[in-house]
A and B are shown apart, each in its own frame.
Chain A
Amino acid sequence: AQTIHQWPVAEIKAVGSPLSLGCTIKGKSSPNLYWYWQATGGTLQQLFYSITVGQVESVVQLNLSASRPKDDQFILSTEKLLLSHSGFYLCAWSSPVGNQAPLFGEGTRLSVL
């Protein structure tokens, strides 16, 4: 069975500090990978998607970047955090075959102070 794991579970960071969030998917070869952001009480906004290693497409510009260094790993990062980066970050995957809706990880709660 496929499993998706995000780390860390939660972060409290200062404005201007760097950030790196990670996600791994096990049990699925060449999955489509996604990063979503959710403000408290808000909708889910897709930030990035990737269909293959080394290839990442940006959907929304939020002064964040993403990379896919391995088939099963997706990284979200920034050099300088803003207050507006606070929220819930969710990694998700879907099968590369057929139009499947994303399956989500547990999420990372980020507070920028």
Chain B
Amino acid sequence: SQLAEENPWALSVHEGESVTVNCSYKTSITALQWYRQKSGEGPAQLILIRSNEREKRNGRLRATLDTSSQSSSLSITATRCEDTAVYFCATDQDTGYQNFYFGKGTSLTVIP
């Protein structure tokens, strides 16, 4: 079963609107990383949020983390066509070796 899961599976917004992608995870974590993957490319890091942080920002991006409900969100304001991509959350697992588990991703389409 998935250790991390994004929702919704897919969504579309018009350029300039704001959008939020959610992530739920199943284990105790020390960090959660949001990625963006454009078609045919490797995933690019967006925001890393650690378990002792509740919110982190990077330009138009804002990530939140709620360890009590084991959930995170990624919000994008003033969306642009180039934000069209699949967004993944990836969580580490306290197993003694480094493995970040990915969800299946949310496909975001920004309509011009």
Q: How far is the CB of A42 from chain B (nearest CB, A)?
A: 7
A1 within 8 A of B: no
Q: Is the CB of A43 within 8 A of B45?
A: no
Q: A32-B98, A43-B104 are in contact. Are A101 and B42 (CB under 8 A)?
A: no
B25 within 8 A of A: no
Q: Is the CB of A106 within 8 A of B30?
A: no
CB neighbors of B among A93-113 (8 A):
94, 99-107, 109
Q: Is the CB of A94 within 8 A of B98?
A: yes
Q: A44-B88, A99-B98 are in contact. Are A104 and B43 (CB under 8 A)?
A: yes
CB neighbors of B among A37-65 (8 A):
42-46, 49, 51, 57, 59
Give Cα A102 to B42, complex, Å: 11
* Closest chain A residue to B32, Cβ basis: A101
Residues of A within 8 A of B44 (CB): 104
